[in-house]
Amino acid sequence: MWDDLLRVAASVKGGHATAALVVGTLCSSKRQQNALTSAIKEYGAWRRTLYATRYLADETYRRRIARQLNKGENLHALRRSLAYAAEGALRRRHHEQQSAQMWCLTLATNAIVCWSTDYHGLGVVALRPRGPRR
């Protein structure tokens, strides 16, 4: 079992396989009695339990996660708005053209995020009081 574990770890670390691919392959095999598969499943259950207990016990952690989720959702909403002209669909036939279309969307998104960050930064500077507070 240790040889298998080392081989799997080396494959993931070396970039030859993703962790999701390895776990998916092990869990979908006909013979799920493999000790490595059981160990990985138990480790996953343990990690999920730790995450759930921390999430439930720590309000600051919950807020931080909610903030990150909101950032991601806002970014997705921006990308949907930008891709509205094509109804959010890839209309190109070839992979290179589809890739170029997605890079254009990424470039436009990044430009808007950078501009918004600078603009809001100027607003914060303008609202800050000058000199020491009394």
User: Is 11 within 8 Å of 36 (Cβ atoms)?
Assistant: no
Assess whether 11 and 37 both reside in one domain.
yes
pTM, entire model: 0.52
The reported pLDDT for the residue numbered 33 is 64
Assess whether 32 and 65 both reside in one domain.
no
Assess whether 46 and 82 both reside in one domain.
no
Q: Considering the domain boundaries, does residue 133 fall inside one?
A: no
CB neighbour class for 101 (10 Å; exposed up to 12, middle 13-18, buried from 19): middle
- Number of domains within the chain: 2
pLDDT in tens, 99-124: 888 888 889 999 999 999 999 999 99
